[in-house]
Amino acid sequence: MAVFSRAGFQVASVCVLILLLLYFLLFHYCPLEDPIEATQQLRTVPSSAPRPPAPCSCPKGSMIFRELLPKEQYEELQQRRAEELNKHKARTRSVLSSLLFAPSNTPLQYPIQGFTVRPLTPTLIPGLALHTGKRSSYKVSLTVSRGVLATESPGESVKVKGDGESTLTVESSSLAELNDLLANISYSSTVYHIHTGDLAHFRYENHEAVFPIVIQQPRLPILYEMGKDISSQVSIVTKTFLRYRELNVLLSSIRRFYDNINVIIADDSFEPQSITGEHIQHYIMPPAQGWFAGRNLAISQVTTKYFLWVDDDFLFTEKTKIEKLVEVMEAVPDLDVVGGSVTGNQFVFSLLYEEGEEEDGGCLNRKSNGKFHPLPDFPQCSLASGVVNFFLARTDAARRVGFDPKLQRVAHSEFFMDGLGSLLVASCSHVSIGHQPKGGKSKDQARYNTFRHPGGGDQELKLKLHFYKNHLKCVHFG
């Protein structure tokens, strides 16, 4: 009996020690939380945008504008640039840019994406509901800031407060009737805006959910009727200046392969010559207006879905198959620009952009021969940021980006810089165009060369454009 007692005492002692240890672990390292306090802590998760980015880095060899621009100009430009950036943000950002966090284990059901309304138009909010345990009464509220909320007439067991206002409160002893009423709540914006948004705050007890409302004026589609022949699908576009010999060689080579395709020419020569022929549109500009001004003029006259950009000293060959570029564009409707190669050179590049700090601006790195990955179903094509001066472009997409007419002399990459994030670009190796041999010495050629190779003033203008218009700290060409 004594032996049993000692054994029982030892077992009991071990059990007590184990219980004490578990108690210590549970309550010291894992204290029990008040459920209400825990819910409130969840609600304190920030719903604003993340912290602004840190300063971006400029690779070795970058053009750093603070060092290249005169000090007095730099400071004045930076001040005006900051004011313009704020206006740009006001036009392009809204509450829809806010970072939202989904609450965990919430009884609230609500739309998390895709709820779009027309401005000033009452629209039912889809999916609103409450899923919770048995209560004697259920009370939810919905709050917006750029519109008003409305619902149908409630039943006898449902109380509604704030109908037609920015905060709507619904209370009922019946969960089913409450959900029936929630399914008939509508939102209407109170200010006309073609593209903005609102945030709706949906609350029940200690739970809160926030979901976005997109306020969007629907856009009319712009469709191009595609005929069966290439001339109804594509226009050829070029810009010429003092190079009529080369231009006529180009036109002859085009007619060798495409006898009825429309060719649009923008011409800012000092003494314009007459360019005539079937399916040719020759537009005379004031003298020496420049490269991008001519592109804008020519592309403004395109009536086809696509245009093919060529330089005036290019040469069509058996490998210049416009149809193959159209095939790629039609198969991949997301594409905006598809480049080919010029005498085997694709001159493809990628653009890597860091936003950087707001005061200093961003960093842009153009990497020559930079590609992202092959285009699905077209292994001879790769996605990139920019391509050579021989490319097929979607007319409406190129018009939206445009060509800055301030760039008069040497400019090409700048179109793709301005289009970064707007244009989806690919480069294909299976379609190419030739290049005419350089002409001999002539009065026009010598005059052309003085404009083709600009002085320091043009380079300074480029620097100011990148610094101010593109809000850049530096550009690296690699």
Query: pLDDT tens-digit profile of 114-126?
Result: 999 999 999 999 9
Q: State the SS3 of 294-344.
A: HHHHHHHCCCCCEEEECCCCEECCCCCCHHHHHHHHHHCCCCCEEEEEECC
Q: Which of 80, 199, 18 is nearest to 467 (CA)?
A: 80
Q: What's the whole-number mean pLDDT along residues 148-156?
A: 88
Look up residue 413 and give its amino acid.
S
Q: State which H helix or E strand residue 159 sits in.
A: strand 158-161
Q: Would you place residue 40 in the very low, low, confident or very high pLDDT band (cuts 50, 70, 90)?
A: very low
Q: Within a 13 Å sphere around the CA of 406, how many CA atoms are in the beta-carbon half?
A: 12
Q: Using CA atoms, how far apart are residues 431 and 339, in angstroms rounded to an integer? A: 8
Residue 394 phi/psi, 5-degree rounding, is -75, 120
Residue 193 has pLDDT above 80, yes or no: yes
Q: What's the whole-number mean pLDDT along residues 34-58?
A: 54
Q: Would you place residue 173 in the very low, low, confident or very high pLDDT band (cuts 50, 70, 90)?
A: very high
Write out the CATH class of domain 230-477. alpha beta
Helix, strand, coil in percent for the chain, rounding step 5: 30, 25, 40
Q: Using CA atoms, how far apart are residues 149 and 61, in angstroms rounded to an integer? A: 57
Q: Using CA atoms, how far apart are residues 331 and 313, in angstroms rounded to an integer? A: 30
Mean pLDDT value across the chain: 87
CA 254: distance to chain centroid? 36
Residue 72 has pLDDT above 90, yes or no: no
Residue 237 has pLDDT above 60, yes or no: yes
3-state secondary structure of 445: helix
Residue 44 has pLDDT above 60, yes or no: no
Query: pLDDT tens-digit profile of 303-361?
Result: 999 999 999 999 999 999 999 999 999 999 999 999 999 999 999 999 999 999 989 99
- CATH 2.60.40 in the chain is located at 106-216
Cα dihedral 114, 115, 117, 122, rounded to 10, equals 160
Query: Residue 70's pLDDT is what?
Result: 87
Residue 377 has pLDDT above 50, yes or no: yes
Q: Mean pLDDT: which of 3-17, 368-382, 428-442 is highest?
A: 368-382
Please report, rounded to a whole number, the percentage of residues in the chain having pLDDT higher than 70: 85
Query: Residue 152's pLDDT is what?
Result: 86
Q: Would you place residue 75 in the very low, low, confident or very high pLDDT band (cuts 50, 70, 90)?
A: confident
Q: Enter the pTM of the model.
A: 0.82
Residue 30 has pLDDT above 80, yes or no: no
- CATH 3.90.550.10 in the chain is located at 230-477
CATH code given to domain 106-216: 2.60.40
Q: What's the whole-number mean pLDDT along residues 148-170?
A: 92
Residue environment code for 311-348, b if the CB has 16+ CB neighbours within 10 A, otherwise e: bbbbbbeeebbbebbbebbeebeebbbbbbbbeeebbb
